[in-house]
Chain A
Amino acid sequence: DVKVTQSSRYLVKRTGEKVFLECVQDMDHENMFWYRQDPGLGLRLIYFSYDVKMKEKGDIPEGYSVSREKKERFSLILESASTNQTSMYLCARRRTLSRTTEAFFGQGTRLTVV
């Protein structure tokens, strides 16, 4: 069974804190993604990475950064958490040059910033 593991299911952080969300995949997939999910807005792409140390901004990168030092791990960083970053965060992996071209998702991290 394919796996994408997010380090926390629920997090509560204070405004201004630096927050790290961790994601680990068990396959050798090139692409990893961080999405944010909000009611009525669906999934919006924050950042993605197509290789180690390579990253590209998604649709809503402001207030976030990412790190990919190893192929299996992709971290999302909230430099200074704010209440409007309270949301569900979903990590995914995907191999594009393959018939198995769907994205596989983690269980999500529900972050509350107080």
Chain B
Amino acid sequence: AQSVTQLDSQVPVFEEAPVELRCNYSSSVSVYLFWYVQYPNQGLQLLLKYLSGSTLVKGINGFEAEFNKSQTSFHLRKPSVHISDTAEYFCAVSAPGAQKLVFGQGTRLTINP
């Protein structure tokens, strides 16, 4: 079975500062990894995904994430955040061929002017 831990429940940063949202996973098999964003009162939208290949994955809105198999991590980064990035971010994991996605607890990103 897979599990996901998002290490920070809330991350406050100033506008134009860099940010890293941390995600660690647990699995006995190879995995697919995902980051989703949820803006207020909306559903979840895919930011990026890692299936295989290059460990650095680029997504929408300037976000990127790096898959690190030895540390079982998939941290999300952005070099310069904007007020519009204020949202909740979810990391998720799935085994290849499995139906379910398992989600972390979420990290609320707050951008201060």
A58's nearest neighbour on chain B, judged by CB, is B100
The CB with the most chain A CB atoms within 10 A, among B34, B42, B106, is that of B106
Given known pairs A41-B105, A42-B90, A42-B106, the reply for A33 and B43 (CB within 8 Å) is no
Q: In this assembly, does B26 line the interface, its C-beta being within 8 Å of a C-beta of chain A?
A: no
State how many angstroms separate the Cβ of B38 from the closest Cβ of chain A: 8
- The reply to whether B9 and A40 contact each other, CB–CB distance below 8 Å, is yes
How many cross-chain pairs have Cβ atoms below 8 Å apart between A and B?
Answer: 62
The SS class assigned to the A binding surface is strand
State how many angstroms separate the Cβ of A42 from the closest Cβ of chain B: 4
State how many angstroms separate the Cβ of A41 from the closest Cβ of chain B: 6
Q: Which residues of B contact A110 (CB under 8 A)?
A: 41
Cα distance, A101 to B102, chains bound together (Å): 14
Q: Which residues of A contact B46 (CB under 8 A)?
A: 102, 104
How would residues 24 to 67 of chain A score, 1 for a CB under 8 Å from any chain B CB and 0 otherwise? 00000001010100001111110010100000101000000000
Q: In this assembly, does A87 line the interface, its C-beta being within 8 Å of a C-beta of chain B?
A: no
* CB contact between B42 and one of A31, A45, A101, A108 (< 8 Å): that residue: A108
How many B residues face the partner with a CB closer than 8 A?
A: 26
The CB with the most chain B CB atoms within 10 A, among A33, A44, A103, is that of A103
CB-CB contacts below 8 Å: B28-80 with A? 32, 34, 36, 41-46, 49, 51
State how many angstroms separate the Cβ of B21 from the closest Cβ of chain A: 13
CB-CB contacts below 8 Å: A58-79 with B? 58
State how many angstroms separate the Cβ of A90 from the closest Cβ of chain B: 6
- The reply to whether B101 and A94 contact each other, CB–CB distance below 8 Å, is yes
Q: Which residues of B contact A4 (CB under 8 A)?
A: 43
- The reply to whether B43 and A105 contact each other, CB–CB distance below 8 Å, is yes
Nearest 5 pairs of A and B residues by beta carbon: A105-B43, A42-B105, A43-B103, A105-B44, A107-B43
B positions within 8 Å CB-CB of A: 6, 9, 32, 34, 36, 41-46, 49, 51, 90, 92, 94, 97-106
A positions within 8 Å CB-CB of B: 4, 9, 31, 33, 35, 40-45, 48, 50, 56, 58, 90, 92, 94, 96-97, 99, 101-108, 110
